[in-house]
Amino acid sequence: MKRGLLIVLSGPSGVGKGTVCAALRARLPELVYSVSATTRSPREGERDGVNYFFKSREQFHHMMQTDALLEYAEYVGNYYGTPRDFVEKTLSEGKDIILEIEVQGALKVKEKFPEGIFVFLMPPSLNELKQRITGRGTETQATIDHRLSVAVEEMNLLYHYDYAVVNDQIDSACNRISAIITAEHCKRERFLNELFQEFASVPSAENVSER
Ligand SMILES: Nc1nc2c(ncn2[C@@H]2O[C@H](COP(=O)(O)OP(=O)(O)O)[C@@H](O)[C@H]2O)c(=O)[nH]1
Ligand SMILES: Nc1ncnc2c1ncn2[C@@H]1O[C@H](COP(=O)(O)OP(=O)(O)O)[C@@H](O)[C@H]1O
């Protein structure tokens, strides 16, 4: 069976990864979401197994030691990681999966899955990024400052990615990512290869004498 596509949506903190990913999933219900494990505490309304698998540090270390994570990263004092088996199973079932993860983890995934599709979400401006980090209202001032300085460094990793998508409007960003997914599916279509080979079997113009 044809394997599914691994799509990694990443970018600086506060750019809108979570928001755009949720909107994209609503639009593409067949797209499977990789639920991460984390040691951070649940925010109001977050549910274990839906938003994250909430783990103690000991539990997370055990997952690291038993190679249960495809990648993990420490981010602003907490660990975050992608459960490996679920990703492998989903891809082998021919389904597309999306990982919404920060940039260090995304680069580790790229080493293991170079065939993945790596999308870097960009803010329309630095000022807008500041506003988004501040405006969410879930963090203390110290965390906001830390996240902003991390975000500025994270922007430098853009050039490791296949695509840059500006998140100016949620809908427009979703349109762009949907178009990328459609185009990547087209590139992998078997009929295109077959068509190409059919054309390749036709003698080239210089070998055909003109009448
Ligand atoms: N490397 C890695 N990063 C993750 C994973 N899950 C979530 N993240 C990232 O961790 C960062 C912090 O996530 P979170 O605390 O939920 O805050 P928010 O996404 O900024 O609202 C975000 O950049 C997430 O994309 C994961 O499994 N691996
Ligand atoms: N296109 C957008 N326009 C305006 N605000 C946005 C947009 N995308 C996201 N936001 C807001 O920016 C803040 C950060 O978004 P979030 O999805 O939590 O970012 P991330 O997951 O990258 O840290 C949230 O308050 C969210 O509502």
Give the tens place of pLDDT for each residue, 41-87: 999 999 999 999 999 999 999 999 999 999 999 987 899 999 999 99
Atom of ligand 2 nearest to the CA of 12: 22
Task: Note whether 70 and 43 are within 8 A (CB).
Answer: no
Question: For residue 135, what pLDDT band results from cuts at 50, 70 and 90?
Answer: confident
Q: Is residue 157 part of a domain?
A: yes
Q: Is residue 206 part of a domain?
A: no
C-alpha span between 81 and 67 (Å, rounded): 11
Q: Is residue 51 part of a domain?
A: yes
Domains in the chain, number: 1
C-alpha span between 102 and 120 (Å, rounded): 10
188 is in which domain, residue-wise? 6-200
Where are any strands of DSSP class E within the chain?
A: 6-10, 32-33, 36-38, 52-54, 69-75, 78-83, 97-100, 117-122, 163-166
C-alpha span between 96 and 98 (Å, rounded): 7
138 has pLDDT over 70: no
Q: Is residue 209 part of a domain?
A: no
pLDDT tens, position by position, 177-196: 999 999 999 888 877 778 88
* CATH number, residue 80: 3.40.50.300
Q: Is residue 163 part of a domain?
A: yes
Q: Is residue 117 part of a domain?
A: yes
For ligand 2, atom 5, name the residue with the nearest CA: 132
Is the CB of 13 within 6 Å of ligand 2?
Answer: yes
Q: Is residue 82 part of a domain?
A: yes
Residue type at position 104: Q
pLDDT tens, position by position, 200-211: 989 877 777 665
Is the CB of 82 within 6 Å of ligand 1?
Answer: yes
ipTM (interface predicted TM): 0.97
Question: For residue 151, what pLDDT band results from cuts at 50, 70 and 90?
Answer: confident
